[in-house]
Homo-oligomer: A and B are copies of this chain.
């Protein structure tokens, strides 16, 4: 099929990452190379900008500025948590037609892939010539059919570094420390807590991911055992842990303590932007674990720093995030591609990413969980297979040493 001319829209959706603007810059620099793209527009605040005709021109930007933008965390175009229904998507398609938009590049997670699919299908049904490409992004690493997703490596690097430091902190002033990590229903980011362990007995000593039902009794026993052995215990807990009935542990513990559970507009317990899970787990340890009378117990909830801290990024992640942006444009213009960009891994030799064309359906809607082989049998630590998988994505971590 011959290439066709028209404007292009690029947009960024969902939770920000440290490298999401690298993908944006990849789109910008590649679009500039193709005469088929007559103008590149950035939609402000994702679907909202597309619905409300709120665009910013992204042509002719200073190359040096683009290099700074590529390293700037969070969505430069703004983001949105709107989940567009059919009417919303129709409004977007109307805006596209009105502006002669023929190419649509959507940087986001599985929900965004589905939105791109719907708009692409609307164009098909209307015989409107258009290409839509989803560009993967999520710190949660939960897109199906991908080895990993841009944003994850840098967030994992932040988490791994944070645990290295907090382990040294907890070694210096021993006690029980609980750190709550992002990732919703996938444990990848929590598992990253172990990547910086570099000496015997280095923490975290216990790791709880959402892939394994969380048992508060077993948790207390685990903490007691580590404390008896080492005199300290550093714990990584995913914000998304839930019990065997799939009830969020944050809600379970809050209810047990007789307080009201706060839920967001979707009915979910608010996981991020609140210290409740960590505080409740700390209370549990204070009440039920014995150590020289009363153990020193603290919790930190890492929060948004994990997805937006400037200067802490994985170079592999930065490079790949930019590349998926470039490929989305090239494949749309030159190879007639509508769908997603998949990241897979060369099966032999040292780490190498392979980029492949995928269908929207390969990633849209449902999210993936972490493979069980990445967690030990008891479900409270990671395995060597996890390290082999994750370390190349995170890059070399800061060197540390211990002397006593």
Interface residues in chain A, defined as those with a beta carbon under 8 Å from any beta carbon in chain B: 12, 15-16, 18, 42, 44, 56, 58, 61, 65, 68-69, 71-81, 161-162, 164-166, 168-169, 171-173, 177, 272-276, 278-279, 282, 297-305, 307-312, 397-404
Complex alpha-carbon distance, A168 and B42, angstroms: 17
B398 and A310 contacting across the interface, CB-CB below 8 Å:
yes
A68 and B16 contacting across the interface, CB-CB below 8 Å:
no
Q: A275-B276, A401-B65 in contact; A164/B310 too (CB < 8 A)?
A: yes
B400 and A72 contacting across the interface, CB-CB below 8 Å:
yes
B273 and A177 contacting across the interface, CB-CB below 8 Å:
yes
B404 and A173 contacting across the interface, CB-CB below 8 Å:
no
Partner of A173, one of B18, B80, B309: B80
In the assembled complex, the CB of A294 is this many whole angstroms from the nearest CB of chain B, namely 9
Complex alpha-carbon distance, A279 and B250, angstroms: 14
Partner of A310, one of B165, B297, B299, B305: B165
A172 and B75 contacting across the interface, CB-CB below 8 Å:
yes
Q: A65-B401, A309-B165, A400-B310 in contact; A171/B274 too (CB < 8 A)?
A: no
A279 and B272 contacting across the interface, CB-CB below 8 Å:
no
Partner of A274, one of B298, B308, B312: B298
Question: 5 other contacts beyond A166-B304, A301-B301, with CB at 8 A cut-off?
Answer: A12-B172, A16-B169, A76-B172, A165-B305, A275-B275
B169 and A73 contacting across the interface, CB-CB below 8 Å:
yes
B300 and A78 contacting across the interface, CB-CB below 8 Å:
no
What residues of B have a CB within 8 angstroms of the CB of A169 in the complex? 16, 73-74, 304, 307-308
Name the residue of chain B whose CB is nearest to the CB of A300. B303
A16 and B177 contacting across the interface, CB-CB below 8 Å:
no
Q: A300-B301, A305-B300 in contact; A399/B74 too (CB < 8 A)?
A: no
What residues of B have a CB within 8 angstroms of the CB of A400 in the complex? 68, 71-73, 310
> Chain B CB within 10 Å — which of A77, A78, A164, A304 has the most?
A304
> Chain B CB within 10 Å — which of A162, A177, A279, A400 has the most?
A400
> Chain B CB within 10 Å — which of A65, A165, A173, A278 has the most?
A165
